[in-house]
Amino acid sequence: MSFKVLEGVNTQEDGLGMIRNILNLIEISDQSYPNNKTNSLQYFNTHQNKLLNLFLGKVNQKDYPISLYTPKRLKIALDKYEKNRSKKDLLLEVISRFYYDSCNQGKYLILDYPPLLQIEIASRCNYKCVFCYQSDESFTEKDSKYMGFMDIDLFKMLIDQIEGNIPYITFASRGEPTLNPNFIEMLEYCKGKFLDIKLNTNASTLNKQKINSIIDVCDTVVFSIDTPNPDHYPNIRVGGNLENVLKNIRLFNKLRSEHPRGRKINTRASGVLFNESIQSEKDYKRTFAPLFDQTAFVKYNPWEKIYTLPKNDIKAACHQPFYRFFIWFDGSYNCCDMDYKSLLSEGCNMISKDYTVKDAWSSKRMQKIRNLHQSGERGRLTPCKQCPISS
């Protein structure tokens, strides 16, 4: 394992050294906890305390699979600590990353809440990208039960249920979040309640008001864009117009440069390498690197045809049911969005005041899915039996 994002952090040993330095900085060790709590640590809740104890044990055993991105996240948390001196916030970031990294890399921890929640405030989209489930007409047809926007009351109830227990949320899933008529009110309701609020957007509907709200609330903004070529763009992002998107991105960057919170957020261009004859990573980076803090070009997965793929022989567990959880626009849920028609959670309860995100995450159905994956029996699940994802 190597870390390319921070100088001087090249091995897992270095990463663990960085964690130990942080623990020394905030004066905590497995011996000193919980008898020598600092004031801020007294405010940890039951879930966070369970996680902290697991974390300290694993770090002691050097059994923490730190991911490539974690040192950068910790560096950001350390910079914040320099300013606000909150030991609680710094330690929360450390243990939250530990939980996410462990589940994301196959060292599964089963706790009452997921490491990350994806909230689908819109399953509708104004595009029909060639690789997306939006291109499946049986998913998007008129009167489709899969299409809709999350209601503001349901959204607020979800946020109230998870605040303090789930540190990372992402506004994204099967549609374009900025289309929700209450998008700005939803963002504002989340302000200051999470360690990281991420938004994925195709940038087509951004305007001054939406952009200022995004900068005011979000920590990470991912712009989905696959090619700098205006002729090829609408062939991949069907329904889109590159010129309009670039105009909105330039407006975003201008408003960001004027906003007091502008330097606190991280932007990323994220593209799907769908057709090598018309897309190249070199062109992509050359055009987009100056516009964003980071660029990423991901491999195409057959998202749009998962239900028609033949059964495969993959036995390895997929990490998706362990490291994140999806709440759809109508309050139903699933453990991944590859299964965009939710066969895995068909017939399960909807989230309500009596059936919470915690209940859904720990439900018998979700436990069964995780057990089958861990025991090499994913072939008993549809669509896992035909899905190419094994990480």
Check binding of 224 to ligand SF4 (CB under 6 A): yes
> In whole angstroms, how close is the CB of 239 to ligand SF4 at the nearest point?
8
Binder among 96, 165, 178, 202 for ligand SF4 (CB under 6 A) = 202
Check binding of 71 to ligand SF4 (CB under 6 A): no
Could you tell me if residue 298 is left (phi over 0), alpha (psi between -120 and 50 degrees) or otherwise beta?
A: beta
Distances (CA, A) of 187 to 63, 183, 195, 207, 269: 37, 6, 14, 15, 21
For 335-346, the DSSP string reads: S-SSSTT-STTT
> In whole angstroms, how close is the CB of 173 to ligand SF4 at the nearest point?
8
Q: What is the strand order of the sheet 266-273 is part of?
A: 294-299, 266-273, 220-224, 196-201, 168-171, 116-119, 325-327, 333-334
Binder among 98, 127, 183, 326 for ligand SF4 (CB under 6 A) = 127
Q: Residue type for 236, please?
A: I
Distances (CA, A) of 189 to 137, 216, 350: 34, 12, 22
Taking the least distance from each CB to ligand SF4, the nearer of 92 and 129 is 129
Name the residue with tokens 């979700």. 366
Binder among 74, 336, 357, 360 for ligand SF4 (CB under 6 A) = 336
**Tokens for 275?**
């057709």
Taking the least distance from each CB to ligand SF4, the nearer of 172 and 187 is 172
Taking the least distance from each CB to ligand SF4, the nearer of 125 and 265 is 125
* Residues 85-124 as x/- pattern, contact with ligand SF4 by CB under 6 A: ----------------------------------------
For 335-381, the DSSP string reads: S-SSSTT-STTTTPPPP-SSS-HHHHHTSHHHHHHHHHHHTT-GGGS
> In whole angstroms, how close is the CB of 260 to ligand SF4 at the nearest point?
30
> In whole angstroms, how close is the CB of 295 to ligand SF4 at the nearest point?
17
How many helices (DSSP H) and strands (DSSP E) are in the chain? 14, 8
Q: Are 374 and 173 in contact (CB under 8 A)?
A: no
> In whole angstroms, how close is the CB of 238 to ligand SF4 at the nearest point?
8
> In whole angstroms, how close is the CB of 290 to ligand SF4 at the nearest point?
23
Check binding of 225 to ligand SF4 (CB under 6 A): no
**Tokens for 171?**
């506004």
Binder among 59, 117, 121, 132 for ligand SF4 (CB under 6 A) = 132
Check binding of 320 to ligand SF4 (CB under 6 A): yes
Compute how many other C-beta atoms are within 10 angstroms of the C-beta atom of residue 102: 23
Contacts of 37 (CB under 8 A, 6+ apart): none
Binder among 102, 118, 134, 342 for ligand SF4 (CB under 6 A) = 134
Check binding of 267 to ligand SF4 (CB under 6 A): no
Q: Which residues bind ligand SF4 (CB under 6 A)?
A: 125, 127-129, 132, 134, 175-176, 202, 224, 318, 320-321, 335-336, 338-339, 378, 383-384, 387, 389
